[in-house]
Amino acid sequence: MSSTQSSARLLDATLAVLWQQWTTLGIAGTKGATSSIIDPEALVLATSRFGRYEPRLFDEMLDWLTRYSGVLDVTRLKRMATTSSVADAQVLSALIDYLQVHAAASKWASIAQALVVEEDSPAYGGRQSLFLDPAGTPQPTFGATDSFFTQHGFDRPPVILRGMSQEPRLVDPALARLRLRALMGPGVRAETVLYLATHDHAHGRLIATRSAYSQRQVSEYLAQLADAGFAERWDAGRTVQYRLSVPFVAAGTRLPSYVDWLGVWSAFATLWSAAEAARVAATPYAAAKSWRTGLAEVRKTLPVEGLGVVTPVPEHYPGESITAYAEEYVSAFAVALAGVGA
């Protein structure tokens, strides 16, 4: 498998997962099975980057967000966007501005300034095509362009929202995160309870890492749960462990698996960048160097909860032998991504 085939394999895997999760949330499309709990904020970030390779998915996402973005945790989205490199910063900035104008929910102004990409910012790519083909080549826009996206540095056909998105079905087990938000509102409470409900026990620092909220916020809420008798707590070495003492989901309902989707997309984005750099490298030596650097970065992001993929060991493959190993690793990663997303 060549570097070009590696990029194609990764792209196919991620687009399949994005479609599965968005159709579960309610966009128009053929719904796929989703065995893990969806993280809608991480999904928006990933689609801002990889939705550029699938125009129909991108526009169906826009349609859904303009109607149902009220279920999103905007504070959490901002934290995740500013602490990870998953999103395409310029696309996300344009998307947030678009939602300020067109979304039914009016909360996007609170993060627009935090995510704005100025023209002199390194993340600003100048005037470019919004959509790309699988090889990364800009898709040309014939005829009229969308004036809103043009103002944000992107050429694309005018946005036509079909209005076919449906409201999320909160009884779907994969939408347990949204179901808890309906019960207690978006924020640290819903994220904390979700993590405890999908694990036998956990401590505050771990939940804070997974939830994208501060350890102080999580710890304060855990203490409130314990004081009210809704959670048990005990000392375990240097940590204080917590376990829910009453069910927060219907009796007999088995929640899908918990996946650290921000971690998954972070690892994926790093591997994707390495594959793309190797694909366009001028020489086999340069491609091997790109793979080695990329796999070393992937190694730093692993393990990721819920993603059953081994940690790469680039140091075991000297010289250009790293390329064959990297291409095999890409194949295994794509399979793992498809498995956790399906």
Chain segment 186-218, per-residue pLDDT in tens? 999 999 999 999 999 999 999 999 999 999 999
Q: Is the per-residue pLDDT at 223 higher than 60?
A: yes
> What pLDDT digit, counting tens, does each position of 127-166 carry?
899 999 988 899 988 889 999 999 999 999 999 999 999 9
* Token duo for residue 262: 């921000």
Tell me whether residue 255 is in a domain. Answer: no
Please give the residue range of the domain that contains residue 75: 39-155
Query: Residue 213: which of 244, 238, 180, 190 has the closest Cα?
Result: 190
Torsion of CA 199, 201, 204, 208, to 10 degrees: -10
Q: What pLDDT sits at residue 104? A: 72
Tell me whether residue 79 is in a domain. Answer: yes
* DSSP state, residue 121: S
Q: How many structural domains are present in the chain?
A: 3
3-state secondary structure of 247: coil
Tell me whether residue 274 is in a domain. Answer: yes
Q: What pLDDT sits at residue 120? A: 61
**CB-based contacts of 252, cutoff 8 Å, min separation 6:** none
Tell me whether residue 254 is in a domain. Answer: no
Q: Please, are residues 24 and 178 in contact by the beta-carbon 8 Å criterion?
A: no
By percentage, how much of the chain surpasses pLDDT 70? 91
This prediction has a pTM of 0.93
> What pLDDT digit, counting tens, does each position of 241-279 carry?
999 987 655 444 568 899 999 999 999 999 999 999 999
Tell me whether residue 32 is in a domain. Answer: no
